[in-house]
Amino acid sequence: MDRIVVEKIVCFGYHGVLLEEQTLGQEFQISLELGVDLSAHKNDQIDQVPDYRTAVSIVEDVMYGQSCRLLETLACRIGDKLLLISGVTEVTVEICKPNPPIPGVQGGVSVIVTRVK
pLDDT of the chain, 117 residues: tens digit per residue: 899 999 999 999 999 999 999 999 999 999 999 999 998 888 888 888 899 999 999 999 999 999 999 999 999 999 999 999 999 999 999 999 999 989 999 999 999 999 999
- Structure confidence at residue 93 (pLDDT): 98
Residue 8 falls in the annotated catalytic set: no
Query: Which residue, among 46, 36, 28, has the nearest Cα to 83 in the 3D structure?
Result: 36
Q: What is the value of pTM for the model shown? A: 0.93
**Does domain 2-116 sit in CATH 3.30.1130.10?**
yes
Cα 58 from Cα 77, distance rounded (Å): 10
Q: What is the pLDDT of residue 29?
A: 98
Query: Looking at 42, 81, 97, 117, which residue is catalytic?
Result: 97
Q: Which of 116, 80, 65, 71 is nearest to 98 (CA)?
A: 71
SS3 70: coil
